[in-house]
Amino acid sequence: MSESANYADAHAVVLSSRVRLARNLRGLPFPDRAPSAVRAEVCQRVMDAARERLPLQEALAGAPTLRRQLLFEGHLISRHLLTERPESAICMDAAHSCTVMINEEDHLRIQVLQPGLALEKAWQVANDLDDFLEQKLDYAFSSTLGYLTSCPTNVGTGMRASAMMHLPALVLQNEMEPIANGLAKIGLTVRGRWGEGTAALGHMFQVSNQRTLGLTEERIVEDLGEIVRELEGHEQNARARLKRERRLFVEDLAARAKGILTAARLMTAQEALERLSELRLGILLGLVRGLDVQLVDELWLAVQPAHLQAAAGRAMNSAERDKARARMLRTMLKGRTPKRAQKENPHE
Amino acid sequence: MSESANYADAHAVVLSSRVRLARNLRGLPFPDRAPSAVRAEVCQRVMDAARERLPLQEALAGAPTLRRQLLFEGHLISRHLLTERPESAICMDAAHSCTVMINEEDHLRIQVLQPGLALEKAWQVANDLDDFLEQKLDYAFSSTLGYLTSCPTNVGTGMRASAMMHLPALVLQNEMEPIANGLAKIGLTVRGRWGEGTAALGHMFQVSNQRTLGLTEERIVEDLGEIVRELEGHEQNARARLKRERRLFVEDLAARAKGILTAARLMTAQEALERLSELRLGILLGLVRGLDVQLVDELWLAVQPAHLQAAAGRAMNSAERDKARARMLRTMLKGRTPKRAQKENPHE
């Protein structure tokens, strides 16, 4: 109980923090311009350099599409690598929190994922991994520009820091659009969880820096962290107002979401994310009992097409997935009713 | 169990049958043209004549709006009398199956309602009541035209016979529109349950004759009965096809309906009818267990605004009704889970 309450507190608004660093090897053309032999050489050199810290290494070129989808859904590879790219690969640590993509837009994309709001921590871990790799690899670096990257928007620190935020109350109170516009004006990008634009599925938003040049990494992380904390406050205020002023509306929304998730026989991924978001809000506002936020956050990933097929151990078409997704949601959400009720009605 | 199975069989498609006869008193102007004193005289004479058979008599003019709404929702008075009309009244038997409206469009509107498909029975009862009243009242009757009525479309028999039909499968299979057009061509009218046009709420349709002149009452009833039985067959076929060919779709529809009805905290009357219709279909197809059709049919009426307020014993605005309706539905539908489960989980 205390553990799940802790999880809910730490993840109420900010689900995770991420830092990624774009790096390239000196004297070699960027992946898009490099011949196959050069890309293969880059791949081998980076894998060798990373092996001690990131022992889980796999080629993405030639891997089944489903495998790349699974990694993409889990935010372990980018949309760019979802498409099959020659001589691309991924290196991961056991916890999947540190990864290096090889031959994405740049030779290396170092990524560090941390739960909750922990941008400084993510930066420290990424910086440490970067230092470790730099001992073995010769990075393309200019004393005037900083790290050189394939796309000019990344030149300088090569860093993008981002926070994954659940902002249902700001959306329901119609405050999200002006906020997103305001953030764009101060150089931040707001996108959906899988980068699908601001019409974010399930009220899940990625907030990240745009500027990479002329600022230190510490300053980027500090500035973004400040904004994210402010946005978190706005969302918490909006939630409190929602509960105070539109309690029945939000109670209805969450109760229906639970009713549908535990009853439906067919469910698309999009609807699942929408209903899970409403349920998550209801749980966090104390309006839905007997379910915890951590389960909802696990389901968020489990309802994705590739995760669903990985769990089933077989490829499924869209209609089969909708059926399997609905069954999985019914099972997972009904199985987690409070213990007392479960004991009293073992046949339910 | 056998009783509820019998009810479901008898009401699977045709919920009720109705016959209404328009009658006027000889030598007196029709209600719309009659001065107040004449309407008052008509009212008194009809009430006196009907009292022995229809002892429940009440003035509609001066009655609270809510009372007229209650009678309208129960199909005991027409939309015409939902508006306050001077010197209008209603006479009913104890079972509310025989009624006479006074000073509607005509001086008398005799109505007989029977459960299931029983047009002949409804006609016999109406005819008997008509004969009884004719012994005491002098009807306006022409040997060439038949019964004279305020609106020319009723002249002749003055009869309208109708069946209330639940046709969800024909709607879901997109077959209802061509059928309604075909019925219109052979002189039948298809409307929603409360006469709201063919976009029937909750897939509930009233099918009635248009022609009243040049046919005997027996012939009208016989012809309509034949069409209704045919339509009933079409619906049963469509249901069988739906279960065979789109089972998962209809299972999902019914399960979601139950999920929403037992979870929602706010519910409009329109949504309630839509969800109850889907639930009703699921029960009849054997895809939803633990609930019976009769309860759903009772709820159909209970969710109506005036019935809801009558049950609460107080007037409620729209927002209060949506809340009370959702609560009533949760209570009624959750309370009727199978007995075994109820016993094992008394706290649910």
With an 8 Å Cβ cutoff, the interface of chain A facing chain B consists of 248-249, 251-252, 255-256, 258-260, 262-266, 323, 326, 340-341, 344-348
Smallest CA–CA separation between B239 and chain A, in Å? 19
- If one compares A88 and A215, the residue with the highest pLDDT of the two is A88
- More confidently predicted of B29 and B192: B29
pLDDT band at A199 (very low <50, low <70, confident <90, very high): low
Residue A169 maps to a domain? yes
pLDDT of residue B126: 97
Does the pLDDT at position A345 exceed 50? no
DSSP B294: H
Residues A211, A289 within the same domain: no
A214: pLDDT confidence band, cut at 50, 70 and 90?
confident
Q: How far is CA B189 from CA A88, B162, B194, B208, in A?
A: 68, 9, 13, 5
3-state secondary structure (DSSP) of residue B324: helix
3-class DSSP assignment, residue B90: strand
| Cα separation, A279 vs A274, whole angstroms | 9
- The Cα B227–Cα B307 span in angstroms is 32
Q: How confident is the model at residue B196 (pLDDT cuts 50, 70, 90)?
A: low
Average pLDDT, chain B: 91
C-beta separation of A63 from A102 below 8 A: no
Place of tokens 């931040």: A188
Q: Å from A289 to nearest chain B CA?
A: 13
Q: Answer with the one of A214, A237, A260 that is the final residue of a domain.
A: A237
pTM of the complete model: 0.88
Identify whether residues B272 and B202 lie together within a single domain. no
Contact A328, A320 (CB under 8 A): no
pLDDT band at A210 (very low <50, low <70, confident <90, very high): confident
Instruction: Mark which of B174, B207, B237 sits at the end of a domain.
Output: B237
- CB of A325 within 8 A of CB of A303? yes
Element (H, E) at B240: helix B217-245
| Whether residues B61 and B170 fall in one domain | yes
CATH number of the domain residue B55 falls in: 3.30.590.10
What is the rounded distance in angstroms from the CA atom of residue A235 to the CA atom of residue B34? 66
Close Cβ partners of A220 (under 8 Å, ≥ 6 residues apart): A157, A159, A161, A209, A211, A212
Per the domain annotation, does A242 fall within a domain?
no
- For B67-103, the pLDDT digits (tens) are 999 999 999 999 899 999 999 999 999 999 999 999 9
Q: pLDDT of A79-136, one tens digit each?
A: 899 999 999 999 999 999 999 999 999 999 999 999 999 999 999 999 999 999 999 9
Quote the crossing angle between the two packed helices A217-245 and A119-134, to the nearest 10°.
150
Q: What pLDDT shows up at residue A195?
A: 64
Query: What is the least distance, in Å, from the CA of B58 to any CA of chain A?
Result: 39
My answer on whether B160 and B73 are in the same domain is yes
- Report the percent of chain B where pLDDT is more than 90: 83
Residue A348 domain-assigned?
A: no
Regarding whether B48 and B115 lie in a shared domain, the answer is: yes
Question: What is the CB neighbour count within 10 angstroms for residue A64?
Answer: 10
Higher pLDDT, A129 or A186: A129
Residue in chain B lying closest to A344 (CA): B345
Grouping H, G, I as helix, E, B as strand and the rest as coil, residue B301 is helix
In this prediction, residue A198 has a pLDDT band, given cuts at 50, 70 and 90, of very low
| Residue B120 shares a structural domain with residue B207 | yes
User: φ, ψ for residue B58 (rounded to 5)?
Assistant: -150, 145
Q: Are A49 and A263 in contact (CB under 8 A)?
A: no
Structure confidence at residue A2 (pLDDT): 64
Give yes or no: residues A232 and A253 share one domain.
no
Q: How many structural domains is chain A composed of?
A: 2
Could you read off the pLDDT of B149-167 as tens digits, one per residue? 999 888 999 999 999 999 9
The whole-angstrom separation of Cα B176 and Cα B173 is 8
A258: nearest CA in chain B? Answer: B263
> In chain A, what residues touch B262 (CB-CB under 8 Å)?
259
Residues A212 and A293 in one domain: no
* Complex-level ipTM: 0.85
Please indicate whether, in this complex, the C-beta atoms of B262 and A265 are within 8 angstroms of each other: no
Tell me: do B165 and B251 sit in the same domain.
no
Domain boundary among A208, A237, A266: A237
Same domain for B144 and B105, yes or no, is yes
The whole domain housing B150 covers 3-237
Max mean pLDDT among B21-25, B61-65, B175-179, B193-197 falls in B21-25
- What separation in angstroms does the CA of A6 have from each of A2, A115, A245, A296? 6, 12, 27, 15
| CA angle at B293 for the pair B73 and B166, rounded to the nearest 5° | 60
pLDDT of residue B198 exceeding 90, the answer is no
Q: Judge whether A345 lies within some domain.
A: no
pLDDT per residue over A44-67, tens digit each? 999 999 999 999 999 999 999 999
Classify B33 as helix, strand or coil.
coil
- Complete DSSP assignment for B136-178: TS-B-EETTTEE--SSGGGTBT-EEEEEEEE-HHHHHTT-HHH
Q: Does B231 lie in the same domain as B267?
A: no
